[in-house]
Amino acid sequence: MISVCIATYNGEKFIRQQLNSILCQIGKEDEVIVSDDFSQDKTLEIVKSFNDRRIKIFQNKQNKKAQKFDFERITANFENAIRHANGDLIFLSDQDDIWHKNKIETIKAEIGENLAIIHDCRVVDENGEIIFSSYFNFIKAKKGILKNIIKCSYLGSCMAFKRKLIDFALPIPQKTPHDLWLALIADQKKSLKLLKIPLIDYCRHKNTNSTAAQKSNKSLFYKINYRLFVLKEFFKRIMQ
């Protein structure tokens, strides 16, 4: 069984095309888990309009404490989706990308004995114009724990993992990006594969939450602080 986990928040502009690109690839017994962070637009109205029993909607009711880092609510939203997933193979998805038609079959064929796999993507603007034909080439993607804490190669929207990874990775520390954390745990288990095949169009637009493939405007203090937190939490987890 396949679960596709989508974290949504005010995604009305793109969510229909994203769901269309996913639903045509999954089977009758598979599921799409939508965790919504109390969208104020028509996101949920659009999701519900599909009237597809494979789509299951949950509200993100995780702790909304004061946030130190911008990505904390996104991490909580994705963790909420993952906790509701029932699949043996779990895919993560942003609300504003487009999956290529061969994504699921390619991942099923390529993941092998690995706990997790991260594939390449094309980076596009909101009109679908290609910015970078390969995110991996742009970011110089490589595995490696310290390397990726310093400069992350991993996009959650390009990630799939086996259910077993949940046993090692959850709970995700609140002040840690969900995709970086899942990949670090899989890498530490020597069970992470990077697949150099673009399988989605990864959309960058003015409302994008992530700074991946864009210049970050965060201060040096912010960047160092969250990386030190990730490093501390990672070593705490693997020492348990």
Q: Is the pLDDT of residue 96 over 80?
A: yes
**How far, in Å, CA of 75 to CA of 71, rounded?**
6
If one counts every other C-beta atom within 10 angstroms of the C-beta of residue 110, the result is 15
Q: Is the peptide bond before 198 cis (omega within 30 degrees of 0)?
A: no
> What pTM value is reported for the model?
0.91
Mean pLDDT of 8-29: 96
The fourth-level CATH superfamily of domain 2-238 is Spore Coat Polysaccharide Biosynthesis Protein SpsA; Chain A (3.90.550.10)
Q: What DSSP string runs through 103-156?
A: HHHHHHHH-TT-SEEEEEEEEEETT--EEES-HHHHHT----HHHHHHS----G
Mean pLDDT of 82-92: 98
Angle at 230 between CA 224 and CA 206, to 5 degrees: 70
Each residue's pLDDT tens digit, 43-61? 999 999 999 999 999 999 8
**pLDDT-derived band of residue 206, with 50, 70 and 90 as boundaries?**
low
The structural domains of the chain, with segments of one domain joined by +, span 2-238
**How far, in Å, CA of 233 to CA of 75, rounded?**
15
In the chain, which residue ranges form alpha helices assigned H by DSSP?
15-23, 43-49, 72-84, 103-110, 135-139, 145-150, 164-169, 178-188, 220-238
Residue 109's pLDDT is 98
129: CB partners within 8 A, 6+ apart: none
Average pLDDT of the chain, as a whole number? 91
Q: Which of 83-97, 146-160, 199-213 has the lowest average pLDDT?
A: 199-213
**pLDDT-derived band of residue 214, with 50, 70 and 90 as boundaries?**
low
Mean pLDDT of 80-86: 97
Residue 224's pLDDT is 85
